[in-house]
Structure 1
């Protein structure tokens, strides 16, 4: 009995040593894996930081590009609007130039004072109009012409036929008889406002020329609208 007990102790000791060794090896391997994971995470840290910095930089560049695009678009719209305004201004100047060139073209060798059909255009608001009335001298030799001109708008009011002098319709005109003094032509132009309930039918122009020779001119032009 005692011999069997002595023979069993070495086996138990070996088993105990094996278990302890396995535990120590497991602890070592576990610590090694943890340290490796820590080193891997530490090594990856700078890469993540670099990616975050790159992302912030890309976002900033995108914001700058978007702002620049908006500014460029607004600038382009402003340039287009300015070009359109300049084109309209040039067209108006060209129209005026053609108009005045037509006025300057001589038709006879004798001095001749005449009236040009008035130009009436719509204003900014209903009932308001822009007007231009020209008295001209067509001649090869233009002498100084002087006199006066009276302008009125006739039509139908609430109580029947009525006529308004230009001074009653245009703030820039203070007298019914406007003074004339020109060598080639004289333009009377401005803005007029019609009373409510008034239906214009015609523009009446009466010019009295004193020089270079006395002359009376009267014309009645239909209201263009």
Structure 2
């Protein structure tokens, strides 16, 4: 009896077999959870690789189809140009057909060149690339269609992600080197930079609405990828020629 309270002694039976069995069960549970996590991770990796292989095969099929169309178009051009049986009235139609076919051939050759760079990394510089930035006028002299093509040349077909910052550089009145971020001139963009995530390539397209007192001169594109092998790529494109400086 201490401080008016009664102390009680509780006796607990000691069972070494039960304690040993409990430890065995806990150890097996930890092994099962660890093994399950490992195989789940392996399954996720194989699933990603399988998806990449499917996308790669689809690109190869499209490339072969375009190569076939290119050969057929060239054959038609040769047949049309070598034909002497056309009369004077049909000459202009034939000439326009030849021009259209040649334009289509040039377009296909550009597309094939693009796919070959993506599908043959041993023939090109590897890593994140700015393939091109194109601007096309519309019926409105202040509105332009734009397209940014970003590619990744790699052997392992992994995703790459990050941000693309596009800015229009020009003059406003007597003030030079005015920079307008894409967010301020394109209703399709609501952030300062555009997020990208892809395996082979990604298109960023929309419209530009320029101020009436703004004279564009260059387009600056900055890519910043994230991850262990983060890269920063920067290029400037002349507004007229659309070629990288």
User: Shorter chain as normaliser: what TM range?
Assistant: 0.5 to 0.7
Q: Determine the C-alpha separation between the residues in 2 that align with 1:176 and 1:165.
A: 7
Q: Provide the residue aligned with 1:166 in structure 2.
A: 182
Give the paired residue count.
139
Per-residue Cα deviation, 1:120-163 (whole angstroms, up to 9, x for no partner): 11112112111111111112332110111100100001251211
1:139 pairs with 154, 175, 179, which one? 154
1:188 maps to 2:192:
no
State the partner residue of 2:145. Answer: 130
User: 2: distance between equivalents of 1:165 and 1:142?
Assistant: 31
**Greater helix proportion:** 1
Measured in 2, the distance between the counterparts of 1:180 and 1:211 equals 13
Deviation at 1:106, TM superposition (A): 2.4
1:177 Cα offset (Å): 1.2
In the alignment, what sits opposite 2:171? 156
Question: Corresponding residue for 2:214?
Answer: 198
State the SS of the aligned residue for 1:108: helix
Q: 1:117, CA displacement in angstroms?
A: 2.6
Closer/same/farther in 2, CA of residues 211 and 183 from structure 1, 3 Å limit: farther
CA–CA distance in 2 between the matches of 1:106 and 1:211? 24
SS of equivalent to 2:195: strand
4+ aligned runs moved over 3 Å, structure 1: 91-100, 107-111
CA distance in 2, matches of 1:118, 1:102: 19
Partners of 1:211 and 1:111 in 2: CA distance: 16
1:101 aligns with 2:115: yes
Matched residue of 2:132: which SS? strand
Inter-partner Cα distance in structure 1 for 2:203 and 2:113: 12
The residue correspondences of 1:44-83 to structure 2 (distance < 5 A) are none
CA contact 1:143–1:212 (8 Å) conserved in 2: no
Contact 2:217 2:238 in 1 (8 A): yes
d(CA) in 2 for partners of 1:94 and 1:168? 34
Q: Which residue does 2:9 correspond to in 1? A: none
Q: Is the 8 A contact 2:166 2:219 kept in 1?
A: yes
Q: Deviations over 1:95-137 (max 9, x none)?
A: 8844642452424388411112311111121121111111111
- Mean CA deviation greater in 192-201 or 136-145: 136-145
Larger CA Rg, structure 1 vs 2: 1
Root-mean-square deviation (CA, aligned residues, Å) is: 2.9
Unmatched runs of 5 consecutive residues or more in structure 1: 1-86
CA contact (8 A) 1:111 1:142 kept: no
1:222 aligns with 2:238: yes
> Which residue number in structure 2 is paired with residue 7 of structure 1?
none
User: Shift in Å at residue 204 of structure 1?
Assistant: 0.4
Report the alpha carbon displacement of residue 195 of structure 1 after superposing the two structures with TM. 0.7
